Amino acid sequence: MKEKLAIFGGKPVRTERIYYGRQWVEEEDINEVSQVLRSPLITCGPRVTRLEQRLCEYTGAKYAVAVSSGTAALHCACIAAGIGEGDEVITTPLTFAASANCALYCGGRPVFADVDPDTYNISPKSIENNITERTKAVVAVDYTGQAVMLDEIRQICREHKLCLIEDAAHSIGTAYKGRKVGSIADMTTFSFHPVKTVTGGEGGAVLTNDKALYEKLLLARGHGIVHDEELMEEAPHEGDWYYEQISLGFNYRMTDFQAALIDSQMNRLDEFVRRRRAIVARYNEVFSEMPELIIQKEIPESDTCRHLYILRLNLDRLSCSRREFYDAMSAENIQCQVHYVPVYWFPYYKHLGFQRGLCPEAEKIYSGIMSIPLYPKMSDNDVEDVIRAVKKLVRFYSLL
Ligand SMILES: *Cc1c(COP(=O)(O)O)cnc(C)c1O
């Protein structure tokens, strides 16, 4: 163990700490936000409408509903899908907890399907194996930004009359067989959290091509209240002030200044996509030469804007654990993160009766992964520093 000191005690590859993800806010974004703050309407005004139109134009979806977070987007989607007491919703364990929590919010039960060992995305076969009479929807997550196998999953959903919700928190900018993510599943959800490709501080959206779903999403976002007389039950109504609550909804509104920030960031989305791709290509070029590392497989159908870069250790060829490697990266001033602890490992899920071992592929992947820095504002030097640190540690821990 004396050599370990060389890593932790020697000069770190970087002096300034670098994080796995970071937003990129420019003066032009700040100007857009301040314009809204100087205007009379700061919530649910013209900028939210404009953002919704923009998301439709960008993705090709017919309808978009901007909401307060990606989590709210998933909750609204589950409400619109009609998830209720006892309904089962199939999702992946290799995701942020919100992808599964959204079923619980509606009284439903998440069911975890295992992932593909090479792409790390939910496996269509495993979805099929987990379908029961109670299954009502699938929440398929485009893990790291790569689109799930949408054709296969849509086919399964059609056959079994399930609603397909695509959790595209990672995949704005990605296309599947030439169609932008957002226009393909029954509903697609985005997140605008600061580590995501486009940010509003917080924010989210649900996209759909289905008018009936769209109307349900609007109700879920806004207290179940309608202002349109045609949608009201009581007629003639009480007067001009009157609106009607016709279902139970929430306040999941996005503010206009968040919408302005997101809309302004959308101007640079293509640039963000290009830069993310260039960094991923450089990492892959170097890391694919190293047998101590495993590269995430890409399916040709997905033209991917990568949100996360997964450094996966081939633990059979290294003398360290993932934890040791992660800590050593941190000692090099490179702050990684792990995406994700399998959702059902958390105590809350354990208390619901889920047990470890449920999804062996996901658990195996989890044991060897960490997300290394990937964001458009990284300089070429930053990228090379990450590479130098990885090379240094791999050389140190290699069993070859
Ligand atoms: C970030 C994220 C969410 C939740 O989005 P918030 O905007 O943080 O609520 C949901 N699913 C996935 C896969 C995410 O990465």
User: 240-274 pLDDT, tens per residue?
Assistant: 899 999 999 999 999 999 999 999 999 999 999 99
Question: What is the DSSP track for 250-305?
Answer: -B-PPBHHHHHHHHHHHTTHHHHHHHHHHHHHHHHHHHTT-TTEEPPP--TTEE--
Which residues are 255's β-sheet partners? 43
Q: Which ligand 1 atom lies nearest to the CA of residue 307? A: 15
| pLDDT tens-digit map of 304-318 | 999 999 999 999 999
What per-residue confidence (pLDDT) applies to 239? 86
Phi and psi for 57 in degrees, rounded to 5? -60, -45
Q: What domains can you pick out in the chain, each with its CATH number? A: 2-21+269-397 (3.90.1150.10), 27-266 (3.40.640.10)
In short, whether 95's Cβ falls inside 6 Å of ligand 1 is: yes
Ligand 1 site-directed mutation target among 71, 94, 166, most atoms within 8 Å of CB: 71
What per-residue confidence (pLDDT) applies to 82? 98
Tokens 């924010």 sit on residue: 203
Q: Which ligand 1 atom lies nearest to the CA of residue 95? A: 13
The whole-number average pLDDT for the span 66-95 is 98
What per-residue confidence (pLDDT) applies to 314? 98
Q: How far is the CA of 34 from the centre of ligand 1 (A)?
A: 26
pTM of the model: 0.96
In short, whether 96's Cβ falls inside 6 Å of ligand 1 is: yes
Q: Across the chain, what does the average pLDDT equal?
A: 96
pLDDT band at 298 (very low <50, low <70, confident <90, very high): very high
In short, whether 198's Cβ falls inside 6 Å of ligand 1 is: no
| pLDDT tens-digit map of 279-290 | 999 999 999 999
pLDDT band at 9 (very low <50, low <70, confident <90, very high): low
Cβ atoms of residues 68 and 44 within 8 Å? no
In short, whether 71's Cβ falls inside 6 Å of ligand 1 is: yes
What per-residue confidence (pLDDT) applies to 3? 47
Q: H or E element: which one contains 245?
A: strand 244-245
Residue nearest (by alpha carbon) to ligand 1 atom 5? 70
Q: How far is the CA of 103 from the centre of ligand 1 (A)?
A: 14
Q: Which ligand 1 atom lies nearest to the CA of residue 203? A: 7
Answer whether residue 168 shows pLDDT above 90. Answer: yes
d(CA 286, CA 312): 13
In short, whether 141's Cβ falls inside 6 Å of ligand 1 is: yes
pLDDT band at 183 (very low <50, low <70, confident <90, very high): very high
Answer whether residue 2 shows pLDDT above 60. Answer: no
What per-residue confidence (pLDDT) applies to 7? 64
Residue nearest (by alpha carbon) to ligand 1 atom 6? 70
> Which of 224, 215, 257 has its CA nearest to residue 38?
257
The whole-number average pLDDT for the span 70-85 is 98
Residues 6+ apart with CB under 8 A from 305: 145, 171, 172, 173, 174, 197, 272, 273, 276, 277
In short, whether 199's Cβ falls inside 6 Å of ligand 1 is: no
In short, whether 93's Cβ falls inside 6 Å of ligand 1 is: no
d(CA 372, CA 309): 6
Answer whether residue 4 shows pLDDT above 70. Answer: no
27-37 vs 256-266: helix crossing angle, rounded to 10: 150
Answer whether residue 375 shows pLDDT above 80. Answer: yes
Q: How far is CA 356 from the centre of its chain?
A: 24
Which residues are 206's β-sheet partners? 65, 189
